[in-house]
Amino acid sequence: MVFDKETTGLSCDSDFLQLSAYDGSTEFNIYIQPNRPINKTATTISGIAYSFDKNAVYYNGQEVKSDNLSSSLLKFIDYLKSLYLKLMHSTCICNLQLSSVQSLQAYKAVG
């Protein structure tokens, strides 16, 4: 699992601009409308800009779909929950397969 985030700057009170995650098969990416101006260096590094007049986020000059922080974090939590459910499903299948192999080995040892 890989996580990344972009912010309006380097200070502790910077706003999130983007949240991304990748688990090897599914990707999560969301742009977030900031409440404060973006540091010029942050825009140079990330390619993300924001227009308060238009309430629009831009990535490399192209407008991208964005949402407010609360909604974005809820979507991110839903993404993480879906990964957890996939992990639990895979774990259950592996445990079931392991249990079946152990039962077969025990049966062969007795028989």
Q: What percent of the chain has pLDDT over 70?
A: 76
Q: Which phi-psi region, left, alpha or beta, contains residue 61 (left: φ > 0; alpha: ψ -120 to 50)?
A: left
| Range list of β-strands (E), the chain | 2-7, 16-22, 27-32, 48-51, 56-59, 62-64, 66-67
Q: What is the pLDDT of residues 42-60, one digit of tens each?
A: 999 999 999 999 999 999 9
For residue 103, pLDDT beyond 60 = no
Average pLDDT over residues 93-107: 47
Query: Using CA atoms, how far apart are residues 22 and 20, in angstroms rounded to an integer?
Result: 7
Question: Residue 2, CB half-sphere, CA atoms under 13 Å: how many?
Answer: 7
Q: What percent of the chain has pLDDT over 90?
A: 58
